[in-house]
Amino acid sequence: MSAPSLSKVDTFNALAISRLAHDLKGQGRSVIHMEFGQPSTGAPRGAIERAHRVLDADPMGYWESTALKVRLARHYLDSYGVTVEPEQFILTCGASPALTLILSATFCAGDRIALARPGYVAYRNTLRALHLTPVEIPCGAESRFQLTAASLAALDPAPQGVIVASPANPTGTIIVPSELEAIARVCRERNTTIISDEIYHGLSYVGPARSMLEFEPNARIVNSFSKYFSMVGWRLGWLLVPKEHLPRARAFMSNLFLTAPSLSQHAGLVALDCREELEGHVATYTRNRELLLEALPKLGLTQIAPPDGAFYIYANIAHLTDSSLDLCQSLLRDTGVATAPGIDFDPVDGHHYLRMSFAVSTAEVQEAIARMTPWFAARQSNAE
């Protein structure tokens, strides 16, 4: 009898780009970090002040904040008009553990989970690591790089689950409400469980993103304080689970991850009410997006996914290269601008795309454009 094979988990190439960027920075080079999807700003001031007070007064320990869960329940009522009970929230060490938790607690080895291609690199690799089967649906410009109800209905047999992301990584595209409703309907009819990654909610340039919970009350919702709330390093997220599935999900949480960091929970509760400061970040991203959308076509990057939300530009570079990784490495070495290769997000067509994050300062975006303009002009001339 042959031994079982290990799951195949691909390299996250953006990490290699980042290592090169830091090596160059260590050599005295000026580097603009646009390779990762993380805000360059820190946590809201009020959250940091609360953390200082807690450090002085609270020994902390394994704990789940009831006050934070109550506040999150009010957030869903205020933002989406959806009533959920505080007990339905499981506080996690960020969105990645929340995704691992719900996949582990919901599906069996070998189950088929549908997802969009291109999509966040960790979806595919987390599914493989858990011995689940990714069913990647190619999504191009005709569907705005997003899943559709029709593409899910066409899968035969029906998948046991689907991961939906709106706004999406790497494209920033948002699924319109009518399509979310249609996706929910198809999944109900085919007994497909919806995992909705809503980590980029709050970061939208075309109107508020809608929660899948508005259309499917049994959807499992993953979210985090990392993006809109600018608290990447605090490692705080949440999973929203239907009541009947809570005991199993909590059993997995307590055994795999114990609890979210106590200090982060105190800070997160305050961060939920720091909207004025956080909306200032969104105003910066809005300006950065405008600058890039104006500049990139002049660089020859004319085929761009519609960045409705999040803080990414996903651009076609097929006219310049057959290797997005090579191009990103050359761009970084020559200009100091770090970007992410599309192969992380799409192993089939991603060698023709790159992703750049505009969650940096406006001054950095302007400087990146100034550096990239002559570089892309030279590449374009060589390609002609």
**Roughly what angle, to the nearest 10 degrees, separates helices 66-80 and 262-271?**
30
- Within a domain: 3: no
pLDDT (average), residues 317-336: 96
Q: Are residues 198 and 338 in the same domain?
A: no
- Within a domain: 5: no
Q: Are residues 183 and 250 in the same domain?
A: yes
- Within a domain: 255: yes
Q: Are residues 333 and 188 in the same domain?
A: no
| Domain count for the chain | 2
Q: Are residues 203 and 337 in the same domain?
A: no
Q: Are residues 216 and 297 in the same domain?
A: no
Task: Between 60 and 360, name the one with better pLDDT.
Answer: 360
- Within a domain: 2: no
pLDDT recorded at residue 5: 67
pLDDT (average), residues 257-277: 97
- Within a domain: 384: no
pLDDT recorded at residue 12: 85
Which of 271, 303, 322 represents a domain boundary (last residue)?
A: 271
Per-residue pLDDT reduced to its tens digit, 114-144 = 999 999 999 999 999 999 999 999 999 999 9
Q: Are residues 237 and 289 in the same domain?
A: no
Residue 1 pLDDT level (bands cut at 50, 70, 90): very low
What percent of the chain shows pLDDT beyond 90?
A: 91
* Whole-number average pLDDT of the chain: 95
Per-residue pLDDT reduced to its tens digit, 224-246 = 999 999 999 999 999 999 999 99
Q: Are residues 197 and 295 in the same domain?
A: no
Which of 209, 238, 271 represents a domain boundary (last residue)?
A: 271
pLDDT recorded at residue 10: 80
Q: Are residues 205 and 225 in the same domain?
A: yes
pLDDT recorded at residue 380: 84
- Within a domain: 155: yes
Q: Identify the CATH number of the domain in which residue 338 sits.
A: 3.40.640.10
Which of 248, 271, 294 represents a domain boundary (last residue)?
A: 271
Q: Is the pLDDT of residue 384 over 70?
A: no
The angle formed by the CA atoms of residues 74, 38 and 59, to the nearest 5 degrees, is 60
Q: Are residues 59 and 111 in the same domain?
A: yes
pLDDT recorded at residue 140: 94
Per-residue pLDDT reduced to its tens digit, 68-82 = 999 999 999 999 999
Q: Are residues 222 and 188 in the same domain?
A: yes
pTM score, two decimals? 0.95
Q: Are residues 35 and 184 in the same domain?
A: no
User: Could you give phi then psi for residue 255, rounded to 5 degrees?
Assistant: -85, -35
Q: Are residues 184 and 244 in the same domain?
A: yes
- Within a domain: 137: yes
- Within a domain: 6: no
Q: Which range of residues forms the domain containing residue 283?
A: 13-42+275-378
